[in-house]
Amino acid sequence: MSYAVAISQFSKSKGGKATIKILVGALVLLVAYLVLKKVFEGIGEGFGNFFDSRTLRQVVDGTPTLDGTEMVGSFKPQAKQIADQCEDAMAFSWGGNWTTDEKALFATIIDLNGAQLKQVYEQFGIRGGDDLFTWYKEDLGDSLIYMSNPTNWGITEEQLTAHMGERTGNIRERQLMANIWEKSGLITGL
């Protein structure tokens, strides 16, 4: 007896019809469950991102800059572009290895004032479940920035001195990043 004939006879029997109905019903329920699960996850993520971005906006709006700057005009498009450049610098692939392009990362923000930095932070928002400062914590290490050659990090000696003061020793990447963001008034936790 062939496989097709056996299935045909089984499907015509009383127990076979009931079994097929149960299997089809279970398959329909499984598909419905998977579709609804995906829909509700998307809705939940959308609500989460909405509340996270609202919280970020409240933090930004409620934090005065330490350098006394205020936003004039619309810096939002540039802030979005800079936030995207920061993400690109931290998700940089060099020869197939994921690394951080510190030079691009520092160069994009070092000359911004406090109000502009706040806009960059807000435009970065939550990406991959984390805010910009969490990305910094994960990507920046304790590597030394040599005072004698800051251009390796995309900055000039004058910019380095402006953020770190006159120093004789070397500094760490996270410390420089924290000092750059200090004028925004935002707490980086770096």
Q: For 54-80, what is each residue's pLDDT tens digit?
A: 577 777 778 888 888 888 778 889 999
Q: Could you tell me the two tokens for 51?
A: 């509340």
Q: Which stretches of the chain are assigned E, i.e. beta strand?
A: 92-94, 97-99, 144-145, 171-172
Is this structure's pTM higher than 0.95? no
| Residues in CB range of 169: below 8 A, 6 or more apart | 147
Q: How many residues does the chain have?
A: 190
Q: For 188, list phi and psi in degrees, rounded to 5.
A: -90, -30
Q: For 75, list phi and psi in degrees, rounded to 5.
A: -100, 0
Pick the residue with more confidence: 96 or 142?
Answer: 142
Taking only the tens place, the pLDDT of each residue in 133-163 is 888 888 777 666 655 566 666 777 777 777 6
